Structure 1
Amino acid sequence: MQLINMKTLWISAEEALSRLGSKRQTLYANVSRGRIRAKPDPADPRRSLYQADDVERLAERHAGRRQAAVVAAGAIRWGDPVLQTTISSIADGQLYYRGQEATALSMDATLEEAATLLWQLPETVAVSAGDEGAGRSRLSTTLALLAGRIEGDLPALGRRPAVLRSEAVEVLSTVAAGLAPSLRSLPLHLRLAEGWGRPQAAEPIRRCLVLSAEHELNVSAFAARVTASSGAALSAATLSGLATLTGPRHGGAWLSVTRLAEQAASAGVREAIRDMLASDGLVRAFGHRLYPQGDPRAKAIMASFDVPPLYTALAAAGEDLLGEPANIDFAFAALAAAFDLPEDAPLVIFALARTVGWLAHAMEQVESGELIRPRAHYTGC
């Protein structure tokens, strides 16, 4: 094994991999999560150098020098991966669906085609037409539809993967009937655009759907997996994911972007950012822990339509003041503003798309046969 001279601040990938004892993809994942700092090699810009003390710290962790309880607690909070998956990965600043780079996939794929890839189906998913009526919000309707399915659906445990995949299409059709109601058998992005009377928004909506279909082990995907690990029906796992998505720190994060834009329209973009930073302690419109160099999903989405001038100015000011590019929540809010979509449009798009990811995680969890049951560390009297 090649020894690391800790006086040398930057080391090669080969030295880092030797010390870590891991695969190259794991090294890239640690860089994308901000655990290992990296920079271009001055001698060869095609290669990267890695911070030696970051590598040493992770090597010590992997060698078991931290207590298991401390490692487990840290893993729950944006820490090391806690579950194995073949569905998606985030490495070197890019998102991959089953090994395919997501932004490239979003150039022409539909959400149905993304589902086909993530669920590993031989044929493209066909979502049934459905319109579950008015009188309630789309989100409320969908929550009720999923709750209604649970009593009649069979538990997922003990059923063959092919049967579960067929049922996943039915669950997605149920969600689509609530979130994208239509009596015509259209691709889901067209159902949304037509339902909102904004046909010109169809292509940006399509890209949003594909790029938000799956995002590793986010909180709603974890909720879906926990439910699925109990053996519950796929509809129950989807309902868990949707309920989790409604939180302001997850699916509702775009609301803070809208509020920021409203403040910027009256007080100016830089003043609005300063005020939100002072009052909230952060500005959710910018930055993402898993993408230190910028959220590639946001860039791809905002390249698909003419971003309103206010949002363009906000993005520039945010990067200048905070050092962070706009993220996907910003992109969703900008899309809604550009096409004058309904107030809940970002959440509707996000929920419909993420249903595909929840179902992928639920099926993978069922196939693993494992129950997710962490231990609690008691800190009371």
Structure 2
Amino acid sequence: MSTSSLDMTSAEDAAGRLGISRASLYAYVSRGLIRSFSSPHDPRQKLYALEDVEALAERKARFRRPAVAAATALDWGLPVLETSITQIKDGRLFYREQDAIALSASASLEETACLLIGGLDDTAFRQSSRSPETFSDPACGPYSYVTQAVRLLSAPAPRETRSAEVAAILRLMAAASTGRDPGVEPLHRHLANAWAAPQAADAIRRALVLCADHELSASAFAVRVTASTGASLRNAVIAGLAALSGPYHGGMTERVRAFLEAPKGPSPAGFRHRLYPDGDPRAQALLENVPLLSSDATILRAAASASGTKPSVDTALVMVERAYGLPTGAAFVLFAVGRTAGWLAHAIEQRSQATLIRPRARYVVTGETPST
């Protein structure tokens, strides 16, 4: 990784800022919390990323001030609830303790949903849905796709087993983009065929699996809050869709596409993920063996050379869309359809806890800046 755009500091300064020993500093580095690099002036000397040191110092300060920790917990802060679904650790992503990158090499979204949720009868995915939904024109992109998906999810639904309900919801999410019922066809093949891109089927499968869950993302939290009220699984998924559509979440794919089509200025947020200092492993796995457009490949190299940044999954999804000539907006659809598996897992886990998520707010007088 290039260090030209990073502010670096010495071991003595880093340890002093954190109030720790050199040994503790090295332990933080080994755990992936602080990046270290060889000094360009003396290869025997190590330098440390100042932004990582400062972020860790801020985190330690939160622990010492409970009120501040609580106030900032919802902003990439301290864990606020327990889950057994997904873990992000040392730059790696795990679904129920299985490496998600390894899983994406061969698993389907349906198999991944069964893993994330647990206790499902997988034969439900091989049986036709009993839902009477009326499909319409294909839709891609945050606005049109979400509108279509919400319409389908809001339609009256028959009483079904949990397995059948999960299968039906996943099919509806795919149908919202293609305009027709997937039936018992695997969702990645259904999308590839509907988009007239059978050669993209395996890349689509991998994308769906890699997007299936990402711990407590904004959309997953919205799903859990909704599910905690006792709302139906379909309504919980609608809440997730609404959150995903925003430009700082799944809607980031629209910003990435605009940048790739007319690159100007520094790389967009889609080229770095705060949970992966050394690069988003989902993006790397997704882009393997994908025939990137020459312009996109050039942008990747330029971004890596200029700033040391690597693409996040948002960027990788758009590059897959462009590489295979998928409909504009397909990147968002892949994100949404894949993430539905995780949303359902979070909704079901939250409902099993029978606890209402109801945080408190600190009242401030109008015009007053909330203290942190």
TM above 0.5, yes or no, is: yes
Residues 182 and 191 in structure 1, CA contact (< 8 A), matched pair in contact too: no
What is the letter of the counterpart of residue 110 of structure 1? S
Secondary structure at 2:249 match in 1: coil
Alignment of 1:141-152 (within 5 A): 141-149=148-156
Relative to structure 2, which stretch is displaced further, 249-258 or 201-210?
249-258
Is residue 113 of structure 1 aligned with residue 111 of structure 2?
A: yes
What is the letter of the counterpart of residue 328 of structure 1? V
**Does the C-alpha gap of structure 1 residues 71 and 360 become closer, same or farther in structure 2, counting only changes over 3 Å?**
same
Distance 1:153 1:73 in 2: 41
Matching residue within 264, 279, 283 for 1:298: 283
What is the letter of the counterpart of residue 71 of structure 1? A
Secondary structure at 1:96 match in 2: strand
Distance 1:342 1:325 in 2: 25
TM-score normalized by structure 2?
0.79
| Deviation sequence 1:180-237 (CA, Å, 0-9, x none) | 5345421100000000111000000000000000001111101000000001111110
Query: In the alignment, what sits opposite 2:168?
Result: 170
TM-score normalized by structure 1?
0.77
Distance 2:211 2:217 in 1: 11
Distance 1:367 1:353 in 2: 23
**Does the C-alpha gap of structure 1 residues 59 and 242 become closer, same or farther in structure 2, counting only changes over 3 Å?**
closer
What is the letter of the counterpart of residue 135 of structure 2? G
**Does the C-alpha gap of structure 1 residues 136 and 298 become closer, same or farther in structure 2, counting only changes over 3 Å?**
closer
Alignment of 1:189-208 (within 5 A): 189-208=188-207
Relative to structure 2, which stretch is displaced further, 165-174 or 333-342?
165-174
TM-superposed CA distance for 1:285, in Å, is: 2.6
Is residue 137 of structure 1 aligned with residue 139 of structure 2?
A: yes
TM-superposed CA distance for 1:134, in Å, is: 2.4
Between the aligned residues of both structures, percent identity stands at 38
Query: In the alignment, what sits opposite 1:24?
Result: none
What is the letter of the counterpart of residue 114 of structure 1? T
Query: In the alignment, what sits opposite 2:336?
Result: 351
Distance 1:309 1:366 in 2: 47
Is residue 73 of structure 1 aligned with residue 71 of structure 2?
A: yes
Secondary structure at 1:289 match in 2: coil
Matching residue within 62, 66, 88 for 2:86: 88
Give the number of the structure with larger relative contact order, counting CA–CA contacts within 8 Å between residues 6 or more apart.
2
Query: In the alignment, what sits opposite 1:97?
Result: 95
Distance 2:306 2:243 in 1: 32
**Does the C-alpha gap of structure 1 residues 199 and 89 become closer, same or farther in structure 2, counting only changes over 3 Å?**
same
Residues 179 and 352 in structure 1, CA contact (< 8 A), matched pair in contact too: no
What is the letter of the counterpart of residue 73 of structure 1? A
Aligned alpha-carbon RMSD (Å) = 3.1
Alignment of 1:315-354 (within 5 A): 315-354=300-339
Query: In the alignment, what sits opposite 1:268?
Result: none
Residues 188 and 204 in structure 2, CA contact (< 8 A), matched pair in contact too: yes
Query: In the alignment, what sits opposite 1:37?
Result: 34
What is the letter of the counterpart of residue 190 of structure 2? R
| Deviation sequence 1:65-120 (CA, Å, 0-9, x none) | 3032x111211111111111110010000110010110000000000010010011
What is the letter of the counterpart of residue 34 of structure 2? R
Relative to structure 2, which stretch is displaced further, 252-261 or 356-365?
252-261
Distance 1:183 1:219 in 2: 28
Secondary structure at 1:365 match in 2: helix
**Does the C-alpha gap of structure 1 residues 308 and 378 become closer, same or farther in structure 2, counting only changes over 3 Å?**
same
Secondary structure at 1:285 match in 2: helix
Distance 1:218 1:183 in 2: 28
Distance 2:25 2:106 in 1: 34
What is the letter of the counterpart of residue 224 of structure 2? R
Distance 1:326 1:338 in 2: 15
Question: How many residue pairs end up in the alignment?
Answer: 330
Is residue 226 of structure 1 aligned with residue 225 of structure 2?
A: yes
Matching residue within 8, 22, 26 for 1:10: 22
TM-superposed CA distance for 1:170, in Å, is: 3.1
Query: In the alignment, what sits opposite 2:369?
Result: none
Distance 2:291 2:138 in 1: 32
